[in-house]
Structure 1
Amino acid sequence: MDADQHESSGETKSAMHTWRFRHHFTYKADQGKNIIVQCNLCLPRVNLLSTSKTSTSNLKKHLDRTHLGCEACPDVKRGRKKEERNGEESRHCQLKKLKAEIISKYTTQAKVDDLIYDFIVEDCLSFYVLEQPGFMKLIAGLTEGLKSMDRVTLFTKVDQSFSRMREELMSRLSSAQYVCTTADIWTANNRSFFGMTCHWIDSFSLERKSVALGFARLQGKITYDTIAGRIHDIHVAFNIESKVQITVTDNGSPFTSVFKEFAVDSHDSDDDIGFFENVSAVLQGEPEKGLLLFLPTVQRCASHTLEQIVAEDFWQAVSQGPMCQLHYSTMAKVFSIFSKCHHLQVGMDAAEEIGKMALVVPSVIRWNVEYCAVQKIVSLTERELTELCARLEVPRMQPEEMAFLKEYVTVFHPLAFALELFQAEQKCYLGLVIPTVLSLKNKLNEQKDTTTYFGDVINAIAMGIDVRFLELFASTEAKIATATTPQFRLWWMAASEREEMCSLLATEASLMDPCTETEASPSRDPSTIKSEDDFFSYGSAKPYAQIQQRGVMEEIRKYIEGTGKSLECLQDFPRVKQLFLKYNTTLPSTAPVQRLFSQKGNLVTSQRNFLTDDYFERIQLLRYNSNLLSLNIE
């Protein structure tokens, strides 16, 4: 019954009986001091509302929030007139008009253009999307008449954003004292691209900053002189050729040839910068004008080195050991599970239903992804794994095979953890590599006596670590980087070597000129007397170099004896901080440039074929640097 029927039934009256909008509700039941009503405007959806018998504020709020404009229809039975409306507009038309007014008030054509620009750049879409009829209708419908910008406007916005990005990058890099770059080459869809990222540590907050500098298409045969030219051109374009401490690359043959051919041996020269002639000018028949292309020192990717240990040393030990057959039979079943869960919907559903997890086929070049996938298999109970194998029609795992997998997960957990550390970016420094590799080797050796299947494999991996990281262990730069990292200091070194390392740190620190350092007053020339204080002297003073050296050694001693592990403690040691900035700017791996290539849609999407190489590079750099730079066009 409605409100009037409820009133005529003789039941207790409520505030709703005299309310002008009571005809929008139907009485349902009493509930203590409240009544339950049904909103007629919400029909056919059942929407029961509770309101006090003495107040209708709850129902009025419902009308205002859900049914905007209903107050234009008061109760005719109470003698109230309807509001006059031009042209007898319906409530739907009123709402539509109000919506258009709100949109027109807060949405401008410039804002719509900025949103469309962000949409194109974020997903690396073709500029022809703007001219698609469906997209134009979508924009017009959402904005109540505003238009989508054309391709010419988008080209202009991209050019303006790219120019602003370069200017801001140049400004930020000019204030950086030391920088590190990473370089890599990626081939997809029969096209090759050269990518480069740049990294530095903020001298005040000690936070790592990362930007992308290049994403260029490589045409023709990829040779070492082509790569060297790309590296040099990007360094010169951003005016950082004199600031680059190290360029980090993988261990692939193109980069190996580049730096083997052109880098100057540090034992033969005090300058670690290599150079070669402008090959492109020679090939084009242009006369060489003495232009030299400079290459910085190269640093091999630590994570790629560990991947090589797994891919080569690990597999060689497995294939020659007594567990060869067991390993291949077990992994064949595991990869069969991976494949069916990845390619078949029934496999995905079974893994989700039984194991409450999603399994993916591990990448060939990412062993730690394979390890995580095996770890998921081991986490299943015997009943769950048996059921999963039956559903996927995969041979059941035997007890010995399960024991093999469990030991595999246990033994190589430190190796997977080390790979994750090296592939980090914000909190990963060159000084992390030596302690990580030493700890990895120790943890593997600790498990050697308790293993059943992997004793020989551990020996092979430990030997591979010694061989492949031999150059790093002998690197003075890596030792200084580790010693100036508060988390490690000198605990990783033998006691007999620490004194020599302290002297090396003091020698390097004496060459630093930290801005926070209180400079001692050097001895002055007697001919430059400007005041009485300059005139009076009481014997020969100690040479300035001796005073400075003593201050440096005291600072180094205090730092070495400290116990703080956070980077904040470096603020108390300005010279050590400068050493940290110089040597730990270097990243241990090429993970950042690999992330540049692996951005969703950048190399695998078909729409990018409609973009020229120049604009494709611009879109990728704008996309990668969007988190660091403010690039919105006003």
Structure 2
Amino acid sequence: MSDSAEARACFMKWKYSRHFTFLKQADKNITVIRKLCPGEKKLSAAVNSTSNLLKHLTRQHRQSLLSEPSSSSTDNTAATPAKQTKLDFTSATQKVSEGELKKMIAGYVVEEMLPLRTVESLSFRCILNKIPVCGKKAALHDRKMFSAYLDKCYADMEMELKETFESLEYISTTADIWTSHNKSFLGMTAHWIDPSTFVRGHAALACKRVRGRHTHDVIGNEIEQVHSAYGLNSKVTTTVTDNRSNFIKAFRMFQKSDSDEELEEDDEVTFIDVEQTLSTKSEGQFSLPPHLRCASHTLNLIFHDVEKWLQANEAKFIYRSATSKCSAMWTKANRSSVASELVDNFFMKKLIVPVSTRWNSFHHALSRITDIPLAELNTVCTQFGIKCFTDREYLFLKEYCIVLKPLTVALDILQGEENCYFGILLPTLEILISRTLALQDELKLTASLPDIIVKAIKVRFSSMMDNKEALLAAVTLPKFKLRWIREEEKKDMVRAMLTTECRGLSLEDQQPAQDHKNPANSTDDFFSFEEDDCTYSAETEVMEYLKYAGSELGVLSQFPRIKAISLRYNTATPSSAPVERPFSLGNLVLTPRRNRLSSERFERLTLMRYNNFFKNNTAK
């Protein structure tokens, strides 16, 4: 069918087409002859719109259209192009209650980390006056009343956290101390795994002010108080901290040992000094959970080991000269706006300046420089007045970045939180070692550097390589199982370890159900033997679990004993990096213009913001 015939067929479907005679089509327009007008007068209209023809009929032949039964308002509407419907917001406005408005205001102030004086701002109150509140004017509270409302919200948040913790069996915590504006704060976060959905949960527990020196007894006392406040003393499987000596000593001195749990019976009467027991200065008055050193911090120390080796090795001269030129470029680009603009115009990207608090920043900064071709790099160095890089120095920097790339990737993995479990640690270290050693063949100036890194990893993590908890945590993650272990002897050892652990759980589960119907004085009880169904069941479950192809955590629902072991040992995070995130938020709250903010108010604002209290409650 031609375009003209198609246009004619489309035009004939129009209900008023009988008043016109289709003549022709030219491009996107059609030409028709008006029948109601004297003479053969022509009229044009668009192919896809008859509005021009309808206007002619309504203006010149209105009486003829009104006399027709089909000429109703609905027909006219159908003939004309659809227009956008106007919305009436005045009648459809949904009014909120006063309680909802207060919660939204609190959520806005806390989530955006605004000062509390925002509620007294004239511009903010002008906005609130435009919001209808159930047919009456909104009651605008001052700062004092708003602070009291935030205290109530914080109490509700604490109650919700305690209810969540009551339903959990295993919880892990992280702890660290942060100093800002000459004030020190102890931050703590809690982490757990939902036993039904296997979703990783986390919450900030504290960001409280610590006064005086950060000695081991002060740190231990503060950590124990936070655990007690949320009822976590018996549920915390591990507390993860960095490698600072005061934290290590606190857990070495006050960590609860297995011997403390065993009660010794003694017939003799023992008198205890009540004053010494109740004294806050007496050591041993509190106990801390098992301690785990931050794996990310330990990996960062390997960077320092590599640097020390480079400073003392024959490559120290080329290392010093290359890094000094890089430092000169960073300094120039960071302090001079003209130099920064030159870098932007020449490279179309900025240079990354290393930061001491970002562990991977030095590697990323060197990688950004080595991504630039040597000729262009030396051109900028000349304009900066810096000595140019030699071919040997440039090659050294490239090899340095290649060797340390697996280490930075492992560091990023271990600093995760959402899908990062303690069982990830050992597989990450094994893959890190293998990939680092595989780089030796492509290196020239740094051929011995992979061996130094691998040696440092084995020394730093020597206590973790054969750790029972770490091995069980790794093998009970369906993603890894035994795939990451290369030695067959070690595979057999870990498999036997897992079977033994499952057998112990089976015996405990079966113990209450071993009551026999036979009477106690029956001869059958004399010849009763321990059933080995539990042992067989545990071995079968381990074998089926290791053969199962699934890699998601939901697979553990089919293996109850493996699930129980995995929840116990994988609750902890391999690093204390999650506790750094509340400090990042706290740095935005505790600004110089808010120096009168009390420590208690600062802690509550930070915790509510980190835990997304108002956002989660609004979503509900």
Query: TM range, normalised to the smaller chain?
Result: 0.7 to 0.9
Which has the greater radius of gyration? 2
Deviation at 1:477, TM superposition (A): 0.9
Give 1:309's aligned residue. 302
Q: What amino acid maps onto 1:584 in structure 2?
A: N
CA distance in 2, matches of 1:496, 1:31: 81
Give 2:498's aligned residue. 505
* Cα 1:496–1:228 shift into 2, 3 Å: same
Q: What amino acid maps onto 1:207 in structure 2?
A: V
Partner secondary structure for residue 309 of structure 2? helix
Deviation at 1:193, TM superposition (A): 0.4
Could you tell me which runs of 5 or more consecutive residues in structure 2 were left unpaired when the two chains were aligned.
1-26, 32-48, 56-76, 263-273
CA distance in 1, matches of 2:464, 2:152: 44
Equivalent residue runs for 1:114-133 within 5 Å? 114-133=103-122
Q: What amino acid maps onto 1:554 in structure 2?
A: T
Contact 2:237 2:290 in 1 (8 A): yes
CA distance in 1, matches of 2:52, 2:380: 60
Structure 1 window deviating more from structure 2 (370-379 vs 388-397): it is 388-397
Contact 1:178 1:581 in 2 (8 A): yes
CA distance in 1, matches of 2:50, 2:612: 51
Q: What amino acid maps onto 1:543 in structure 2?
A: E
Q: What amino acid maps onto 1:128 in structure 2?
A: R
Structure 1 window deviating more from structure 2 (417-426 vs 134-143): it is 134-143
Asked if 1:445 corresponds to 2:437, the answer is yes
CA deviation vs aligned residue, 1:294-344 (integer Å, no higher than 9, x gap): 201100000000001112x11110101122122222222323333444444
Contact 2:187 2:579 in 1 (8 A): yes
CA distance in 1, matches of 2:96, 2:425: 52
* Cα 1:52–1:590 shift into 2, 3 Å: farther
Contact 1:317 1:456 in 2 (8 A): no
Equivalent residue runs for 1:192-341 within 5 Å? 192-264=184-256, 282=279, 292-311=285-304, 313-341=305-333
* Cα 1:279–1:539 shift into 2, 3 Å: closer
* Cα 1:61–1:308 shift into 2, 3 Å: same
CA deviation vs aligned residue, 1:579-624 (integer Å, no higher than 9, x gap): 1111111110001101111127446522442321111111111111
Q: What amino acid maps onto 1:225 in structure 2?
A: D
* Cα 1:270–1:403 shift into 2, 3 Å: farther
Deviation at 1:104, TM superposition (A): 7.0
Give 2:37's aligned residue. none
Partner secondary structure for residue 360 of structure 2? helix
Match of 1:490 among 447, 467, 482: 482
* Cα 1:143–1:62 shift into 2, 3 Å: farther
* Cα 1:603–1:116 shift into 2, 3 Å: closer
Deviation at 1:108, TM superposition (A): 6.0
Equivalent residue runs for 1:60-99 within 5 Å? none
Equivalent residue runs for 1:28-47 within 5 Å? 32=29
Structure 1 window deviating more from structure 2 (209-218 vs 346-355): it is 346-355
Q: What amino acid maps onto 2:612 in structure 1?
A: S
CA distance in 2, matches of 1:226, 1:538: 57
Match of 1:543 among 530, 533, 543: 530
Give 1:612's aligned residue. 598
Partner secondary structure for residue 510 of structure 1? helix
CA deviation vs aligned residue, 1:7-35 (integer Å, no higher than 9, x gap): xxxxxxxxxxxxxxxxxxxxxxx98479x
CA distance in 2, matches of 1:195, 1:279: 30
Asked if 1:626 corresponds to 2:616, the answer is no
Asked if 1:113 corresponds to 2:102, the answer is yes
* Cα 1:357–1:604 shift into 2, 3 Å: farther
Match of 1:562 among 548, 554, 566: 548
Partner secondary structure for residue 477 of structure 2? coil
Asked if 1:53 corresponds to 2:52, the answer is yes
Asked if 1:367 corresponds to 2:353, the answer is no
Deviation at 1:460, TM superposition (A): 2.5
* Cα 1:520–1:616 shift into 2, 3 Å: closer
* Cα 1:386–1:114 shift into 2, 3 Å: farther
Match of 2:449 among 437, 449, 457: 457
CA deviation vs aligned residue, 1:45-64 (integer Å, no higher than 9, x gap): xxxxx995346889998897
Deviation at 1:114, TM superposition (A): 3.0
* Cα 1:555–1:104 shift into 2, 3 Å: closer
Give 1:163's aligned residue. 155
Deviation at 1:400, TM superposition (A): 2.1
TM-score of the two chains, using structure 2 as the length reference: 0.77
Partner secondary structure for residue 526 of structure 1? coil
Contact 1:186 1:192 in 2 (8 A): yes
CA distance in 2, matches of 1:586, 1:279: 35
Q: Percent identity?
A: 28
Partner secondary structure for residue 585 of structure 1? coil
CA distance in 2, matches of 1:108, 1:400: 71
* Cα 1:134–1:538 shift into 2, 3 Å: closer
Q: What amino acid maps onto 2:220 in structure 1?
A: A
Could you tell me which runs of 5 or more consecutive residues in structure 1 were left unpaired when the two chains were aligned.
1-29, 35-49, 69-97, 272-276, 530-534
Deviation at 1:141, TM superposition (A): 6.9
Asked if 1:380 corresponds to 2:378, the answer is no
CA deviation vs aligned residue, 1:399-432 (integer Å, no higher than 9, x gap): 2222122112211110011001100112211111
Q: What amino acid maps onto 1:328 in structure 2?
A: R
CA deviation vs aligned residue, 1:125-184 (integer Å, no higher than 9, x gap): 332233344544555578898575311331122112111111111111111111110000
Deviation at 1:109, TM superposition (A): 5.2
Contact 1:178 1:245 in 2 (8 A): yes
Contact 1:183 1:247 in 2 (8 A): yes
Match of 1:415 among 404, 407, 432: 407
CA deviation vs aligned residue, 1:249-289 (integer Å, no higher than 9, x gap): 000121012012222566x6778xxxxx99996358xxx8x
Match of 2:560 among 574, 579, 584: 574
Equivalent residue runs for 1:178-197 within 5 Å? 178-197=170-189
Give 1:598's aligned residue. 584
* Cα 1:401–1:439 shift into 2, 3 Å: same
Structure 1 window deviating more from structure 2 (492-501 vs 611-620): it is 492-501
Contact 1:224 1:257 in 2 (8 A): yes
RMSD: 3.8
CA distance in 2, matches of 1:389, 1:133: 53
CA distance in 2, matches of 1:373, 1:587: 28
TM-score of the two chains, using structure 1 as the length reference: 0.75
Partner secondary structure for residue 178 of structure 2? strand
CA distance in 2, matches of 1:628, 1:519: 46
Deviation at 1:205, TM superposition (A): 1.5
CA distance in 1, matches of 2:500, 2:208: 42
Aligned residues: 540
Partner secondary structure for residue 294 of structure 1? coil
Contact 1:213 1:621 in 2 (8 A): yes
Q: What amino acid maps onto 2:116 in structure 1?
A: F
Q: What amino acid maps onto 1:609 in structure 2?
A: N
Partner secondary structure for residue 502 of structure 1? helix
Deviation at 1:386, TM superposition (A): 4.3
